[in-house]
Amino acid sequence: MTGVLIRDVIEERDLERRRDTFVSVASHELRTLVTTILGFTELLLDDVHEGDQRRWLEHVHEDSLRLTSILDDMLDVSRIQSGRVKMTIERVDVPDVINDVIVGVTDQGLGIPSEEIDRVFDTFYRLKNEQTYEIRGTGLGLYIVKSLIEGIGGTLNVESEARVGSTFSFSMPESL
């Protein structure tokens, strides 16, 4: 017995392309506006040295910097998903590189429940519990890191235990 499954993905791909285009254009346009806000808050902060006005301006400025970072992450995700990220692979002296970097990052933070480990690499995914409510973030960082590492043939690994902490490490192919 033989079965055949045929699925038309043209509409799905068109929707993904439109979504990627929207994210890219919207992020670029918003980044342009935020750059203006940053410029004016910097000028105003030069003239206002104390009091409530300064605190408010500092708050606007800090939030604008955070928004810029979020928009940059969204643009990176858009470039990765559309295949526009160009990577240059070059030979390096591995012992020198190892001496310059840490091969793993470990924290003693909240940890990741085992059932959510695979999902932390999805775009916009964040752990949702009362301990993470106050932690800022977009849920894009781990997606970007994993995409870049896999883009050059590497593997990103995570070991984690809830309420104990996490260790993130990566491996690279022997020859690039």
Residue from 79, 87, 106, 77 nearest 154 by CA: 87
Domain stop point among 47, 82, 117 = 82
- Residues of the chain with pLDDT > 90, as a percent, come to 20
Residues 15 and 69 grouped into a single domain: yes
Q: Which domain holds residue 146?
A: 94-171
Please count the structural domains in the chain.
Answer: 2
Q: How far, in Å, are 4, 19 from residue 1 at the CA level?
A: 10, 40
Q: Is residue 62 part of a domain?
A: yes
Task: Say whether pLDDT at 134 is over 80.
Answer: no
Question: Tokens in use for 26?
Answer: 């919207």
> Looking up tokens 């020859």, which residue turns up?
175
Task: Say whether pLDDT at 100 is over 70.
Answer: no
> What per-residue confidence (pLDDT) applies to 82?
79
Cβ(110)–Cβ(163) below 8 Å: yes
Cβ(28)–Cβ(78) below 8 Å: no
